[in-house]
Chains A and B, each alone.
Chain A
């Protein structure tokens, strides 16, 4: 009898032990953003569909609730899947706010006419370049494109200054590209917008001819570079910092910044939107404004090492400074309509089979 019950007892004991200790680190982080006394709940509620993951934003949302008394409900997920869900739900969506990790899903929802207008008071917290001209989205943090490289396999001095250098024979079979990943597709769409579709397509085809190697996403490239499986890769700056924090010196990769005016140094923004069908647009606007306050923007740059977008907040000192040119030069609104063609060009290049 005892033997039979043992697993059950062990399970319960495990749970009891786990319940016994309660360290709320989240609360400490939230208090860093909002150190004051929490106000009483107002009964008001905002529902978010968040492509931005728990680890990166939960303390911010806790601080918002603490500061305003507005409670927050969140459905977590991947930005793409949540955008599909909102499209499926149409006007019946529970979401007031949608937070996207990259511009593509926002462009998708915009093309479906599902996004509402954000208050001008909120929009003007960021520069014109980092918000929609129609007022349907506003950027709240940025991730810069970089070339991640394995420090044992490639010397710093050999690294290129432009993505156009990577089609050179010297880099044959050594460059990883996250061909079908959302942020790469966004990047490629801007590439087309800036240089023309012919130039961008030619570059991609030459990369394929130069045996560029396909990986499914930024993370897997950074991880592979850290192990020395590949030499260099085109990724967002963010992941390498995370790997270093998580794995330490065993991770043998570093970010390399291409020239400031190179398309390979593009800033990809994470964006916030309010749905046309939002039940609490006022609360949604308050939340977006809160994401753009100085303490929250500082939190993003100091804890998750992203670029702050609100005026007056400096990037963390470890991040290479952005030039005005980078942020100011991109028309993100082109992303929505151009996405279809981007997907076609990428598939036709055959990068996914490299």
Chain B
């Protein structure tokens, strides 16, 4: 690793970003002071401790299962002769794009008693009565929607690992599981723990899935109290954020002790033959795909088909027309792609500070960015309104602008790009850098001609992850977007809330289709694991 000090300008940029990402946290602290909230005394009441404990239990379980599932899928799609690998690479990230409020509802509609799967099974004489709810339901649905947070960074890492070590281990007679444990696992551990942290933070901030699965967590308590007892809502939110900060700090300290791993663009990656394990492997990947993608899709298709048939039969016409769907799709696509690009611009300097220079300011900024992922979107939205209204002329300028919307999205989701970006940064070999420097290339030139080409596939994957997540974002899209800027998700929400399920289903299908085309495009561009 390069031992030179980080350039001053880069450190300054890091500090500015730390401040930008701290907006929601500072807002929460301010609100706690001004509303007379008392988070400390609230913390040790049953009303807080019980949902808090449930939140932690759920987050741990989801993290564990998503870590195992994500790693297995990543290994199977990068390192084996699994059939249809390219197809899996296109479809496996897609569950990210289901907004949880409709994704979880569709999941329930398909799998719970009286649902679509039930109809199918009862026609062959099987009656199922398992009702997915509570801890089991929340765990299952969040695992199925969150595993891509692990799958994507781990797959990106696996593709960069040189195969030579593994080959040596195998030649020396280690079994495959042993090789995985002793050679592969240590090398992917930092990506794995970064991805798992995202799953953990997402789980504690989720509201849509846990509320539909009727599992009472801290976010439900926050939601109920917003209007009834605002100080309680703000205090509980602060507790959530402080907890997230502690978890991030703990992960950092563990991650720093992990052995340093040199990564290269792997040209000689080992490909394993699955042989007799082929069927179980296909079952695992296919099963994941069935439950995380096909199950919700079945309900969406059913709703959409009901609506289309209804209009054919002269029933109530659909309340959406194609021009509105197209407008929403175009808005969704443009806003999320711009967000992906801006998020990369924000994340790369921080990743360089952390990955190349092991800079203290960089590590601090990194932690702020990651912890912000646990802040519910509505609080990020409200905090931005709060700050823009208090920043005078600049606020007036930004009010109702796309710039403020993109900024809010970036604050919400840039953390997702961080893990993969860090891998990408460490992929650039120092030797190459030193040679370029010796040849007299200045810093910017080196970045453009040495770093960027090597990092490009990883960065595109990181950007893709942000884009897919932004496409489903709801509260920020409602509260911060310029007036008259509908996105697919805001339209889906409006229809779904009022039980216009056909309209919601059709637009959710458009959302899934759009994201599938996008990932297809990125995969064809040979992006690392999207």
Contacts and interface: CB of A to CB of B under 8 A. Distances in A.
Contact of A24 (B211, B321, B325, B501): B321
B229 A343 contact: yes
Contact of A7 (B108, B378, B521): B521
Contact of A227 (B114, B214, B326): B114
Contacts of A219: 497, 499
A182 B224 CA distance: 8
Interface in B307-325: 307, 310, 315-325
A242 B495 CA distance: 11
Contacts of A344: 228-229
B520 A19 contact: no
Contact of B317 (A25, A90, A108): A25
B220 interface: yes
Given A55-B494, A76-B478, A19 B323 contact: yes
Interface string B207-223: 00001101010001101
Interface of chain B, main secondary structure: helix
Interface in A33-84: 47, 53-56, 58, 73-78, 80-84
Interface of B: 47, 105, 108-109, 112-115, 118, 131, 211-212, 214, 216, 220-221, 223-229, 303, 306-307, 310, 315-326, 329-330, 378, 381-382, 385-386, 389, 399-400, 475, 478-479, 483-484, 486, 490-491, 494-495, 497-503, 513-514, 517-518, 520-521, 524-525
A239 B495 CA distance: 12
Given A19-B323, A76-B478, A108 B500 contact: no
Given A76-B478, A248-B310, A180 B385 contact: no
A227 B113 contact: yes
B325 A18 contact: yes
Contacts of A180: 220, 223-224
Interface size grouping (class) on chain A: 35 or more
22 contacts: A11-B514, A18-B323, A25-B319, A26-B321, A28-B317, A55-B319, A55-B503, A58-B319, A74-B484, A77-B478, A81-B226, A84-B227, A85-B382, A180-B223, A185-B228, A216-B211, A216-B214, A220-B212, A226-B114, A227-B112, A228-B114, A344-B229
Contacts of A239: 499
Contact of A25 (B321, B494, B520): B321
B227 A104 contact: yes
Contacts of A342: 228
Main secondary structure of the interface of A (DSSP, over half): helix
Contacts of A54: 319, 486, 491, 494-495
A89 B390 CA distance: 10
Instruction: Across the A-B interface, give the 5 residue pairs with the lowest CB-CB distance, nearest first.
Output: A227-B114, A343-B228, A242-B499, A53-B494, A77-B478
A239 B491 CA distance: 18
A323 interface: no
Contacts of A92: 389
Contact of A19 (B322, B381, B479, B494): B322
Nearest to A51: B497
A228 B521 contact: no
A246 B427 CA distance: 53
A189 to B, nearest CB: 10
Nearest to B490: A76
A198 interface: no
Contacts of A78: 478, 497
A307 interface: no
Contacts of A231: none
A6 B523 CA distance: 12
